[in-house]
């Protein structure tokens, strides 16, 4: 009965989130004729691509019952390492892409080791990683941005449009295409692989999984490494959008990503969540931010609204857990 209630609650949350997205789009469209323009819609999707990839990454961690506060600064560090390889090292573009993803996976593995082997609470372990990665980004770059002007094709990673080349009427940025490819791959992993089953199992009852003979530490480290690799993709997207690796960028991205995950119905207690819900949550955050900007709402008030949404989303999660319990 509890399992059925939990599934019903998760489905209701996704429906509510999707309805909220429709209401936001309709409301901003009525409030400003500039909102529902093709160029602005593409801008919303482009903004959602980075936050969406980060949200997909942290969804994996939250389903296990953990949290990752380092994804924002890890994204920046991955972008910096891509800059080191491509701009400073003069290497080909594929090597820079591999460097960013590998950096993310290695840092994720380190965070997973802190949590799984050293038994440090995820909040503290990833908070420490957040600060270390922020410092390392500034140290490596000397606090100065790294530009990708000498790397042909780098800006096309996020700003180009493969779909637009085929269908000119729909110039969907590559960053959005990458987001949906990443989301589809992770949804498949969660639904069809052993890693996915253990991701949910660790969040539902880690002790029972351990007593059944499963090496929970190894699987948890693998999940953190996978999440880190996905953050590396986010680092490539943000660097491609800006055509630079900005070492001071990153702080705050983790909060929007976590908010998107919770809005989408993933439980902070672990054991429940979907990638589809996370995508809806990321779109809600992007639409809200863009809509407030179109309406000329001051940036400081945009920050207040984002903080309020996080509180409301977490409170809604608490209510869902209370009903399921």
Tell me the C-alpha to C-alpha distance, in Å, between residue 215 and each of 69, 196, 204, 220, 269.
25, 15, 16, 9, 21
Question: For the residues 6-35, what does the mean pLDDT come to?
Answer: 82
- Per-residue pLDDT band at 1 (split at 50, 70, 90): very low
Residue 243: inside a domain? yes
- CA 97, CA 255: separation in Å to the nearest integer? 25
Of 26-30, 94-98, 229-233, which gets the smallest average pLDDT? 26-30
DSSP for 62-106, written as a single string: HHTT---S-HHHHHHHHHHHHHIIIIIT---HHHHHHHHHHHHHH
Give the C-alpha distances (Å, rounded to integers) separating 298 from 27, 208, 292, 303: 18, 50, 8, 9
Residues linked to residue 211 through DSSP beta bridges, in sequence order: none
The pLDDT score that the predictor gives to residue 6 is 58
- Contact in structure between 317 and 267 (CB atoms under 8 Å): yes
CA 46 vs CA 78, 168, 216, 238, 240: distances in Å: 19, 17, 37, 10, 11
Domain contains 275: no
Q: Is the pLDDT of residue 324 over 70?
A: no
Higher-confidence residue of 308 and 240: namely: 240
- Report yes or no on 269 lying in a domain: no
35 domain residue, yes or no: no
pLDDT of residue 248: 86
Q: For residue 289, is it within any domain? A: no
In a domain, 6, yes or no: no
The per-residue pLDDT for range 229-285, each reduced to its tens digit, is 999 999 999 999 999 999 988 888 998 899 899 888 888 888 889 999 999 999 999
Provide mean pLDDT across the span 293-320: 83
Looking at residue 10, what is its pLDDT?
A: 64
In a domain, 207, yes or no: yes
| Residue 296 dihedral angles phi and psi, to the nearest 5° | 65, 30
Query: Of 320 and 69, which is predicted with more confidence?
Result: 69
The mean pLDDT of 132-150, rounded to a whole number, is 95
Segment 48-56 shows an average pLDDT of: 95
Domain, as residue range, for 103: 50-249
pLDDT (mean) for 138-148? 95
- Give a yes or no: residue 238 inside a domain: yes
Q: Which of 91-105, 122-136, 207-221, 257-271 has the lowest mean pLDDT?
A: 257-271
The predicted pLDDT at position 17 comes to 82
- Number of domains the chain contains: 1
pTM recorded for the entire structure: 0.93
Q: Over pLDDT 70: what percentage of the chain?
A: 95
Altogether, the residues listed in the chain come to a count of 325
pLDDT attached to residue 14: 77
Distance CA 254, CA 252 (A): 5
């Amino acid at each position: 009965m509890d399992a059925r209630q939990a599934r019903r609650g998760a489905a209701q949350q996704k429906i509510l989130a999707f309805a909220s997205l429709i209401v936001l789009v309709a409301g901003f469209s009525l409030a400003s004729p500039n909102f529902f323009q093709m160029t602005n819609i593409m801008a919303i999707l482009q903004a959602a691509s980075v936050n969406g990839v980060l949200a997909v990454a942290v969804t994996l961690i939250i389903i296990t019952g953990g949290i990752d506060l380092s994804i924002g600064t890890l994204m920046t560090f991955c972008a910096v390492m891509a800059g080191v390889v491509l701009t400073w090292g003069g290497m080909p573009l594929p090597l820079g892409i591999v460097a960013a993803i590998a950096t993310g996976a290695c840092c994720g593995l380190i965070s997973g080791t802190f949590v799984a082997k050293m038994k440090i609470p995820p909040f503290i372990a990833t908070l420490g990683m957040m600060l270390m990665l922020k410092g390392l980004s500034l140290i490596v770059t000397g606090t100065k941005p790294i530009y990708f002007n000498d790397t042909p094709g780098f800006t096309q990673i996020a700003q180009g449009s493969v779909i637009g080349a085929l269908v000119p009427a729909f110039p969907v940025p590559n960053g959005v295409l990458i987001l949906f490819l990443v989301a589809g791959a992770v949804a498949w992993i969660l639904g069809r692989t052993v890693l996915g089953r253990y991701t949910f199992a660790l969040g539902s009852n880690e002790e029972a999984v351990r007593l059944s003979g499963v090496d929970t530490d190894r699987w948890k480290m693998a999940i953190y490494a996978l999440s880190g690799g996905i953050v590396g993709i986010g680092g490539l997207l943000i660097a491609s959008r800006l055509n630079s690796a900005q070492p001071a960028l990153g702080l705050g991205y983790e909060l929007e990503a976590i908010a998107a995950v919770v809005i989408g119905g993933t439980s902070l207690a672990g054991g429940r969540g979907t990638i589809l819900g996370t995508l809806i949550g990321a779109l809600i955050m992007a639409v809200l931010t863009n809509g407030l900007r179109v309406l000329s709402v001051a940036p400081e008030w945009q920050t207040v609204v984002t903080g309020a949404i996080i509180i409301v989303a977490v409170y809604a999660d608490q209510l869902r857990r209370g009903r399921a319990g």
